[in-house]
Amino acid sequence: MSASPQDSNKKSMDKPIKVSLIEDDDWIRDNLAAQIGKREGFACARCYSSGEQALSEILKDVPDVLLVDINLPKMNGIECVRKLKSLIPDVLILMLTAYEDSDKIFKSLVAGASGYLLKRTPQDEILQAIADVYGGNSPMTGHIARKVVQYFNARGVKENEIEKLSNREREVLDRLAEGAPYKEIADNLSLSIDTVRMHIKGIYSKLHVHSRGEAVAKYLLK
């Protein structure tokens, strides 16, 4: 079951989900920022009009979730995601796209994004997706997820990478593969959410990946 904005509000009563935007369209950027900023449980941290601006300034105010336009000018959204995940590995990224371009979305997920949203998505659903990804889900359609798995299948999976995982990390990854959000994993394994995040960070490091989708793909292909 996916997390709701209300669930995330309860989880983050004293700490709203901090969201930043990278979008070159002034109207879309300002409108989204206004909607995020006025909704309880969410806070709009910073807005950037380009990937270059974000990369130079984002460390001043690191968000929990980052919305990135897939078709940014100059440095495109895919390259921006790759550099952002290198700079801030823990940041959660949702791509914003006008059309469901499977190839670009797939490349974004491989670069480290956790999911994507169509720009025409109703604002309540955008907020729901932000809450979902913050709760540990990865908003994406089945055929996009299959493309990620096929990509890693073509690359091949090193069995010894999986063997590096501790028993607890495997338990966490088992539940990630089942689609469980972080809170559910924490409750199921009698852990705090911070401990779950610590284990996931270790999983990413040992599997040499940057997102839930990549980690699950490698695990399913072991």
pLDDT digits (tens, 9 = 90+) for 104-141: 887 888 788 888 888 888 888 889 889 888 877 766 65
| Residue 14: pLDDT over 90 | no
Q: Which domain holds residue 42?
A: 5-140
Same domain, 131 and 163: no
Number of domains present in the structure of the chain: 2
- pTM (whole model) above 0.85: no
The CATH number of whichever domain residue 161 belongs to comes to 1.10.10.10
Q: Where do the H-state alpha helices sit in the chain?
A: 5-11, 26-38, 51-57, 77-87, 102-111, 123-134, 142-155, 159-163, 167-177, 182-189, 193-207, 212-220
Which pLDDT band holds residue 2 (cuts at 50, 70, 90)?
A: very low
Select the more confidently predicted residue: 105 or 65: 65
Percent of the chain with pLDDT over 90: 29
Same domain, 133 and 186: no
Same domain, 122 and 184: no
Cα–Cα distances in angstroms (integers) from residue 49 to residues 23, 29, 73, 79, 156, in the given order = 5, 8, 9, 15, 38
